[in-house]
């Protein structure tokens, strides 16, 4: 293909990809399969690699993979991004209606009522139909430049194809809310928890945190979304007659506009619509914190104007907070798989935001101390996002003067509880604590781990009580004869269970890495580890410093892995697994660097930091063996040789998952 043909094809592909992006992310109505979409993208990437000069800066192939920025620069908004007057009281809505009618006694108008999305208000600037700048609201006058991150949000058009004639050639701004759907929120929090990080308190904070990333590759993975709620043409503010009309125009241009918004002829209809969503909001896949009521007529909006920071033509009705007061019936200390002891409050059941809540986590000893809570107290409970409800404060003390504190001994095995310095959790460190054993075996047998069908909590409890297992490796020693006498276990189910246990011996290594129950190692981390370490022995021998060079493995997880393999009883269990024939190694995948190649042909090296050899000499050693040396790290780099005080190339290599080697390893490689 020559350059002219390539240019034509790139244009076609760009149009098709943007179209299908819109179908998928904006309209929720894909018309081709993911596979077909991937093929279009692959073709575009291929052509752009072949003809880099034809790759447009706003090509859909460049939504992800942009370079990290150094800091957020300020962006001044063309016109202030106002905030809204709030009310929590539906009677105030009539007050608002009365004020508008007094200010415009002659006007006949509708209201346009929108869902108030709980996210981060942002403004997108388009010039010649192309997204040029995206900024957060900030203080209303100046926000942060988040263009690099906004480009990764698939429902934000990078370029607008069917731009209305009235807008073409004009600079305009699309304002709206960047938010995190609940599903993505839960996923992020799961990952954070398994990585040993604090979970985000609610989707709004998670969206804010995701937008604050300097590296757009991280933001791209977060699953952010965008609803448009205002169109601001720069030269011609009254280009459209109504808010509802401008929303339709935005929709036609490919923006996502909330489909539940509704036009109301009077305030009675507005109140009814607010009531409706107070109930229905629990069923939405994203969070809303209220409704926004806007005068639909844009000319009238202009006449009404604003007072300081808020417009006179709009008001927000905020739903009551998802909080309620109730009584504490009991507090127990619950022991988890890792021995962590969590205080849990059992509450008089209370409805909060459509859900009945009867338990709340009290987290740890510090939280207990700050709350000074005890059984019989009346407490304020809050349900944020989809996270576990939490006790916010004690509103009325009950009969117990003193505060509840964690016991000195494990409520399950009576072993001593300890709290290590710098740790929030109090733990039971008894190796044979039956609750930990129960939860450990449940985890080992779970779907995401060794997937042993028929081995549920009840059976595990029986096996432990009958003294048939002391760790999960003992499962492989069980016989059908031992199982048959157990409660509700016939010959057939005993036989099936033994077969299922046997079958789990051949699970992929990543499942075993996960099933071992190493603290902070979740399913995804286990897969990453299995991609690097072909055997349990290799993983056991890894040092934290080496583990940390792997993309997505942080210091907390690295230390947890090392600690796990230093523990004598864990090594004992591993030996038993090996003896039972559980797969603990996989065929070696051929990876660059496993062998010691005399020839470095086809290998690309990058040097960073100070090494003992003169840099030029080291580079010559690579080149003389047929290898290549480049100055910056990309996915195509095979090795980054890191000396003392490595620079940003080291970070880039980590981020891209490029193999980092020391000077010594480099020398070994050369033989």
117 vs 501 by CB, closer to ligand IVH = 117
Segment holding 563, helix H or strand E: helix 555-566
CA distance 401 to 515: 44
Least Cβ distance, residue 314 to ligand IVH (angstroms): 6
* 41: its two tokens: 């993208």
Least Cβ distance, residue 617 to ligand IVH (angstroms): 58
Residue nearest to ligand IVH (CB): 121
Short-list 623, 619, 622, 660, CA closest to 643: 660
Name the segment binding ligand IVH (CB under 6 A); options: 110-118, 323-331, 462-470, 637-645. 110-118
292 vs 526 by CB, closer to ligand IVH = 292
Segment holding 16, helix H or strand E: helix 3-21
Name the segment binding ligand IVH (CB under 6 A); options: 80-88, 185-193, 241-249, 547-555. 80-88
- What is the torsional sign of CA 618, 622, 624, 628? negative
Which residues from 279-298 bind ligand IVH, rule CB under 6 A?
A: 292
Number of Cβ within 10 Å of residue 365's Cβ equals 17
Choose which of 134, 314, 498, 573 interacts with ligand IVH (CB under 6 A): 314
Name the segment binding ligand IVH (CB under 6 A); options: 78-86, 164-172, 393-401, 586-594. 78-86
379 within 8 A of 395, measured Cβ to Cβ = yes
Short-list 215, 186, 171, CA closest to 384: 186
Least Cβ distance, residue 294 to ligand IVH (angstroms): 7
Residue 453: strand, helix, or coil: coil
CA distance 121 to 289: 14
84 vs 547 by CB, closer to ligand IVH = 84
Choose which of 68, 245, 311, 398 interacts with ligand IVH (CB under 6 A): 311
316 vs 440 by CB, closer to ligand IVH = 316
Short-list 336, 542, 329, CA closest to 442: 336
Least Cβ distance, residue 176 to ligand IVH (angstroms): 8
DSSP conformation letters of 342-381: EEEEEEEEEEETTEEEEEEE--SHHHHHHHT--TT-EEEE
Number of Cβ within 10 Å of residue 5's Cβ equals 10
Using the rule CB under 6 A, is 77 a contact of ligand IVH?
Answer: no
- Burial classification of residue 512, based on how many CB atoms lie within 10 Å of its CB (0-12 exposed, 13-18 middle, 19 or more buried): buried
99 vs 396 by CB, closer to ligand IVH = 99
441 within 8 A of 460, measured Cβ to Cβ = yes
Phi, psi of 228 (to 5 degrees): -85, 140
* β-pairing verdict for 604-608 and 639-642: parallel
Say whether 116 is catalytic.
yes
Q: 3-21 and 34-50 helices cross at what angle (nearest 10)? A: 150
Name the segment binding ligand IVH (CB under 6 A); options: 87-95, 311-319, 369-377, 598-606. 311-319
Find all residues with CB under 8 Å of 88, minimum gap 6, and list them: 317, 318, 320
117 vs 518 by CB, closer to ligand IVH = 117
Least Cβ distance, residue 306 to ligand IVH (angstroms): 8
Determine the length of the chain.
671
Name the segment binding ligand IVH (CB under 6 A); options: 25-33, 112-120, 336-344, 420-428. 112-120
User: What is the edge-to-edge ordering of all strands in the sheet holding 120-127?
Assistant: 130-136, 120-127, 172-179, 225-233
CA distance 193 to 200: 10
Using the rule CB under 6 A, is 96 a contact of ligand IVH?
Answer: no
Using the rule CB under 6 A, is 117 a contact of ligand IVH?
Answer: yes
CA distance 494 to 479: 8
Choose which of 55, 82, 350, 656 interacts with ligand IVH (CB under 6 A): 82
Using the rule CB under 6 A, is 335 a contact of ligand IVH?
Answer: no
The site string for ligand IVH over 132-161 (x = CB under 6 A, - otherwise) reads -----x------------------------
Q: 434-445 and 457-465 helices cross at what angle (nearest 10)? A: 140
Phi, psi of 606 (to 5 degrees): -130, 135
31 within 8 A of 37, measured Cβ to Cβ = no
Least Cβ distance, residue 321 to ligand IVH (angstroms): 16
Choose which of 116, 148, 262, 654 interacts with ligand IVH (CB under 6 A): 116
Dihedral-angle region of residue 194 (phi above 0 means left; psi in -120 to 50 means alpha; beta otherwise): alpha
The site string for ligand IVH over 234-273 (x = CB under 6 A, - otherwise) reads ----------------------------------------
25 vs 317 by CB, closer to ligand IVH = 317
Residue 663: strand, helix, or coil: helix
Using the rule CB under 6 A, is 114 a contact of ligand IVH?
Answer: yes
Name the segment binding ligand IVH (CB under 6 A); options: 116-124, 128-136, 193-201, 234-242. 116-124
Choose which of 10, 17, 47, 84 interacts with ligand IVH (CB under 6 A): 84
229 vs 605 by CB, closer to ligand IVH = 229
* 157: its two tokens: 């058009």
Residue matched to tokens 């779970």: 446
Least Cβ distance, residue 244 to ligand IVH (angstroms): 12
Least Cβ distance, residue 590 to ligand IVH (angstroms): 52
Choose which of 47, 121, 381, 452 interacts with ligand IVH (CB under 6 A): 121
Using the rule CB under 6 A, is 229 a contact of ligand IVH?
Answer: yes
Number of Cβ within 10 Å of residue 170's Cβ equals 16
274 vs 362 by CB, closer to ligand IVH = 274
CA distance 76 to 67: 24
Least Cβ distance, residue 187 to ligand IVH (angstroms): 23
229 vs 476 by CB, closer to ligand IVH = 229
Count of residues that interact with ligand IVH, criterion CB under 6 A = 14
Using the rule CB under 6 A, is 205 a contact of ligand IVH?
Answer: no
* 280: its two tokens: 């229905």
572 within 8 A of 645, measured Cβ to Cβ = no
Least Cβ distance, residue 39 to ligand IVH (angstroms): 37
Segment holding 271, helix H or strand E: helix 267-280
Least Cβ distance, residue 289 to ligand IVH (angstroms): 8
What is residue 26's DSSP assignment?
I
Name the segment binding ligand IVH (CB under 6 A); options: 76-84, 320-328, 330-338, 562-570. 76-84
Q: Catalytic one among 8, 116, 578, 667?
A: 116
Short-list 377, 350, 353, 351, CA closest to 362: 377
Residue 43: strand, helix, or coil: helix
* 428: its two tokens: 């039971």
315 vs 516 by CB, closer to ligand IVH = 315
Which residues from 168-187 bind ligand IVH, rule CB under 6 A?
A: 177
81 vs 512 by CB, closer to ligand IVH = 81
Least Cβ distance, residue 470 to ligand IVH (angstroms): 56
Residues that bind ligand IVH (CB under 6 A): 82-84, 114, 116-117, 121, 137, 177, 229, 292, 311, 314, 316
Tell me which residues are annotated as active site. 116
């Amino acid at each position: 293909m020559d350059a002219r043909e390539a240019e034509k094809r790139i244009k076609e592909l760009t149009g098709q990809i943007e179209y299908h992006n819109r179908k998928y992310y904006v309209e929720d109505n894909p018309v081709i399969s993911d596979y077909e979409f991937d093929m279009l993208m692959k073709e575009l990437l291929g052509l752009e690699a072949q003809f880099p000069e034809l790759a447009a800066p706003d090509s859909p192939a460049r939504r992800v993979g942009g370079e990290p920025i150094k800091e957020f620069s300020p962006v001044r908004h063309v016109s202030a991004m106002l905030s809204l007057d709030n009310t929590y009281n539906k009677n105030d809505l009539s007050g608002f209606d009365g004020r508008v009618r007094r200010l415009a006694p002659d006007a006949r108008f509708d209201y346009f009522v929108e869902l108030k999305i709980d996210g981060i208000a942002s403004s997108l600037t388009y010039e010649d139909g192309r997204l040029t700048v995206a900024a957060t609201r900030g203080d209303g006058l100046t926000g942060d430049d988040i263009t690099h991150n906004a480009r990764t949000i698939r429902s934000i058009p990078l370029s607008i194809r069917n731009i209305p004639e009235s807008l073409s050639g004009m600079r305009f701004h699309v304002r709206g809310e960047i938010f995190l759907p609940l599903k993505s929120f839960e996923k992020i929090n799961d990952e954070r928890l398994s990585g040993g990080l604090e979970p985000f308190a609610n989707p709004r904070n998670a969206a804010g945190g995701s937008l604050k990333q300097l590296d757009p590759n991280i933001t791209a993975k977060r699953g952010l979304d965008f609803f448009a709620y205002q169109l601001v043409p720069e030269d011609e503010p009254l280009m459209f007659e109504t808010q509802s009309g401008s929303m339709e125009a935005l929709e036609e241009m490919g923006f996502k506009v909330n489909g539940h918004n509704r036009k109301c002829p009077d305030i009675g209809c507005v109140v009814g619509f607010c009531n409706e969503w107070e109930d229905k909001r629990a069923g939405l896949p994203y969070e809303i914190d209220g409704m926004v009521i806007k005068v639909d007529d844009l000319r009238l909006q202009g006449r009404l104007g604003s007072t300081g920071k808020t417009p006179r033509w709009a008001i927000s009705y905020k739903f009551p907070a998802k909080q309620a007061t109730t009584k504490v019936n009991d507090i127990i200390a619950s022991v988890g798989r890792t021995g962590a002891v969590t205080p849990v409050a059992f509450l008089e059941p209370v409805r909060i935001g459509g859900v009945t809540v009867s338990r709340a986590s009290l987290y740890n000893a510090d939280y207990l101390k700050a709350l000074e809570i005890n059984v019989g107290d009346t407490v304020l409970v809050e349900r944020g996002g989809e996270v576990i409800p939490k006790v916010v404060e004690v509103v009325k003390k009950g009969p117990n003067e003193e505060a509840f504190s964690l016991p000195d001994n494990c409520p399950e095995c009576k072993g001593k509880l300890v709290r290590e310095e710098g740790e929030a959790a109090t733990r039971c460190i008894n190796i044979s604590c039956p609750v930990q054993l129960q939860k450990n075996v449940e985890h080992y047998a779970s779907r995401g781990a060794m997937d042993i069908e028929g081995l549920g909590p009840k059976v595990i409890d029986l096996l432990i009580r009958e003294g048939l297992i002391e760790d999960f490796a003992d499962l492989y020693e069980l016989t059908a004869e031992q199982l048959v006498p157990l409660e509700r276990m016939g010959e057939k189910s005993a036989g099936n269970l033994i077969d299922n246990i046997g079958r789990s011996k051949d699970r992929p290594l990543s499942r075993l890495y996960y099933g071992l129950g190493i603290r902070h190692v979740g399913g995804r981390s286990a897969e990453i580890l299995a991609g690097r370490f072909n055997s349990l022995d290799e993983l056991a021998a890894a040092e934290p410093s080496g583990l940390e060079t792997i993309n997505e493995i942080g210091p907390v997880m690295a230390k947890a892995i090392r600690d796990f393999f230093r523990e004598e009883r864990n090594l004992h269990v591993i030996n038993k697994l090996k003896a039972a024939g559980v797969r603990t190694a996989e065929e070696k995948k051929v990876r660059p660097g496993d062998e010691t190649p005399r020839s470095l042909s086809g290998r690309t090296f990058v040097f960073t930091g100070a090494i003992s050899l003169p840099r030029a000499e080291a580079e010559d050693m690579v080149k003389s063996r047929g290898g290549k040396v480049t100055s910056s790290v990309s996915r195509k780099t095979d090795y980054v040789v890191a000396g003392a005080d490595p620079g940003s190339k080291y970070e880039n290599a980590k981020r891209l998952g490029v193999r980092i080697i020391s000077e010594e390893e480099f020398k070994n490689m050369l033989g």
